[in-house]
């Protein structure tokens, strides 16, 4: 799935925290900043783990203020070995 996280989500270590949470949950994929000011999370793995990552995205790190998390299912494509921060 792809989640687009909006609000005050850049400049607050969102990607680093998302990386740590995804690895803790065993989720594969990536997180990156978008030019729009949003953060994109692409994640695959156990449904419960991906759901837990999305639930976390609504909170984010302590300095974030999340206003929305838009979720889009993805067709199989890129295969991920782990979870990474992309620039």
Q: Give all domains of the chain, ordered by start, each with its CATH number.
A: 2-81 (3.30.70.100)
- For the chain, the distance separating the N- and C-terminal CA atoms, rounded to the nearest angstrom, is 19
pLDDT (mean) for 35-56: 97
**Whether 15 is catalytic:** yes
- The overall pTM is greater than 0.85: yes
Active-site residue, from 15, 28, 81, 86 = 15
**pLDDT tens track for 55-67:** 999 999 999 999 9
In the set 8, 23, 33, 81, the catalytic residue is 33
The neighbouring-strand residues paired with 39 are 5, 33
Residue 61: DSSP 8-state: S
61 vs 56: CA distance, rounded Å? 9
Interatomic CA distance for residues 22 and 85, integer angstroms: 11
- 10 Cβ neighbours under 8 A, 6+ residues apart: 33, 37, 38, 39
What confidence tier does 13 reach under pLDDT thresholds 50, 70, 90?
very high
């Amino acid at each position: 799935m792809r989640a687009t996280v909006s609000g005050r989500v850049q400049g607050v270590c969102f990607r680093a925290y998302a990386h740590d949470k995804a690895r803790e949950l065993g989720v594969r994929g990536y997180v990156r900043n978008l030019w729009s000011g949003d953060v994109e999370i692409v994640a695959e793995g156990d449904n419960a783990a991906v759901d837990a990552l999305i639930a976390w995205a609504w909170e984010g790190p302590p300095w974030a203020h999340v206003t929305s998390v838009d979720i889009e299912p993805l067709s199989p494509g890129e295969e991920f070995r782990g979870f990474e921060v992309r620039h």
